Structure 1
């Protein structure tokens, strides 16, 4: 499900301050990148058995190269997904997300925005 109106969508930012800001907000990029795209994930625990939620931030390079670390990234609309063990994560609009989880995700994304907004282009 897309999390709308966060102020993050369409934001342009250099990769290094983006990585730093996302890490400070406890998002993980790890190996989830290629030369043109980045993906950051934040794991949200759940009281439901075998269910975990994830906030996903994605972006793509409008100039430069992610591998070289000189990319300017354009962020996309954040997503919230539900992981079903052992099948994987579903981000579809037809998924049912608890209101408390969605509100928590919005607070986390507000923190992300505060971390990276000063470095936006």
Structure 2
């Protein structure tokens, strides 16, 4: 599910403070190798059997290369997904999410957006 109405989408920030902030808030940098894209995932455990939720924040390099660590990254709309064991994560619009998961995701994204604002200003100078 694409998470609308948040302050994450459109932030332009240097890769180093972005990764620092995301790690500090429990997000894990995706291990895929790419020149242009970066992905951060946050795991939300659930009491439901064999189901885990994930917040995914994707970014696209607008300057520099992600693989070298010095890119300027523009963040895209975060996604909320549901992992079905053993099949994988579904981010489709047809998925349903409990209110506590939606609330946690919105709070986490709000916290990150606030922390990224000071770094975002550095890029825009």
| TM-score, normalised via structure 1 length | 0.96
Using the TM superposition, give the Cα deviation of residue 67 of structure 1 relative to its aligned residue in structure 2, in angstroms. 1.2
2:62 and 2:72 mapped to 1: Cα distance?
Answer: 6
Q: Gaps spanning 5+ residues in structure 1: where?
A: none
**Residue of structure 2 equivalent to 1:103:** 103
Aligned positions of 1:1-121 closer than 5 A: 1-120=1-120, 121=124
Contact residue 59 and residue 74 of structure 2 kept, 8 A: yes
Q: How big is the shift at 1:32?
A: 3.4
Distance in structure 1 (CA, Å) of the matches to 2:32 and 2:74: 16
Query: How far apart are the structure 1 equivalents of 2:32 and 2:117?
Result: 23
Query: SS at 1:104's partner residue?
Result: helix
Q: CA deviation at 1:111?
A: 1.3
**Does the 8 A contact of 2:82 with 2:89 survive in 1?**
yes
Matches of 2:114 and 2:32 in 1, distance apart?
Answer: 23
Comparing both structures, which one devotes a greater share of its residues to helix? 2
CA RMSD of aligned residues (A): 1.0
State the TM-score, normalized to the length of structure 2.
0.93
| Cα offsets for 1:61-85 (capped at 9, x unmatched) | 0010111111000000001000000
Unmatched runs of 5 consecutive residues or more in structure 2: none
